[in-house]
Amino acid sequence: MPAIAAAAAPDQRILGAQVLLDRLGFGPGVIDGAKGMSFAKALRGWQEAKGLPVSGELDAATVKSFDAYREMPTVIEVKLTPQTVEGPFVGPLPAKTSDQAKMKTLGYADLMEKLAERYHTTKATLIALNSPGTKLAAGAAIKVPNVIPPAQNYAEDLNPAWRDTLWTLNVGSDQPDVAKVVVDKSDGVLRAFDGSGKLVAQFPATMGSGHDPLPIGSWKIQGRSYNPPFHYNPKLFWDADSSDKKALLPPGPNGPVGVVWIDLDKKHYGIHGTPHPEKIGRTESHGCIRLTNWDAARLALMVKPGTPAIFQE
C-alpha cells in the first residue's frame, strides 16, 4: 500500500467552515481549506437560507451561525477497514473511449483517489492532514475531514450496489424532501427548495457551454439511474474526434456521468456526477448539469420523478 508524503497544512478556519457547510447541505465543492469560488457560493447559499447578510465571506455573523456545531470536530481520525481500502483500482484511464469501453469498470485509479472522494476532499488535502509515511492499509489510522453523516439508514429496497456507493461517498440517508430544483446560470449553482419554498440545499455546478448552452426553461425530473453505463455517441459531442465511434462505457465513479444520472424530460439532458470534482464550476459541460459525485448522490435522494427543475439565467 502507498504511504503519505509531506505537504503544507490547509487553513484550518476555512477547512472547518467547508466541513460544516458540506454537512449542512451547502456544498463547497472539494474540501481543501482554501478560499475559492465554490466556497464563496456555499457561504452565500447558507447566508441566504439563514437570513444573514449575503456577503460570500466567512464574516462574524456567519461564524456565529455555526455556534450550534462548535463542539463537532471538523477533522477526525478514522481507522481504515478492509471495505474502505477495497478496489478494484484501475490506474489512469485510457484517453480513447474505445479503450475505456473494453474495461470492466471505470473505477478509481488508486486508493488515494477513493479516499479523497469518500471524504469530499483532495489527495493534496489528505496528504497535508497526515504525517509523512502514514501507511494506507486496513487497520491504519488517518485524519480526514469529518463528513461522515449521522445516519445511513437507507430504505431496505434500495439497490444494494447503490447502497454501497452511498456508503463509499459518505452520503447520509437523512436528506430533505425537495419540491423544486432551480439551476441558476448566473450564480453557477443548483438550489433545492422544500414545499414551503425554503432553500434547503445548494451545490456548485458546471452547466453548459457556448457550444451546448444550458437549456433555459421549466423541466421535470423523470427518474434516476444509479451507477449507470454511458452511451457515448460522438454525434452529440461537438469536440469529439472525427475517428470516434459509438461506444458503451462501463459504469464507475470515473465514468463521464459519475455515479448517478438524474434524467430530465428534455432528450439527452440530465443532472449527473463527474470524475473530476475539483473542476466543478471551472470548466464547461455539454449542456447537462454536472455536480460532484457526492452532491449528485445527495440530490438523487432528495428528488423523485415529477420534481420540477427550473433552469434560469
- The mean per-residue pLDDT over the stretch 208-233 comes to 85
Q: Which residue has the cell 470548466?
A: 283
Q: Tell me, what's the pLDDT at 247?
A: 81
What is residue 93's DSSP assignment?
P
Q: Domains, the chain, ranges and CATH?
A: 12-312 (2.40.440.10)
- CA 141/CA 121 separation, integer angstroms: 17
Q: pTM score, two decimals?
A: 0.92
Tell me, what's the pLDDT at 28?
A: 97
Cβ burial of 52 (10 Å; 0-12, 13-18, 19+) is middle
Question: Per-residue pLDDT for 261 more than 70?
Answer: yes
pLDDT tens digit sequence for 154-183: 888 888 999 999 999 999 999 999 999 999
CA 18 – CA 4 distance, rounded (Å): 23
Q: Which amino acid is at 186?
A: S
- The upper half-sphere exposure of residue 117, i.e. CA atoms within 13 Å in the direction of its Cβ, equals 31
Angle among Cα 63, 68, 69 to the nearest 5 degrees reads: 80
Question: What letters, b where the CB count within 10 A reaches 16 and e where it falls short, cover 169-191?
Answer: bbbbeebeebbebbbbeebbbbb
Q: At 239, give phi and psi (nearest 5°).
A: -100, 15
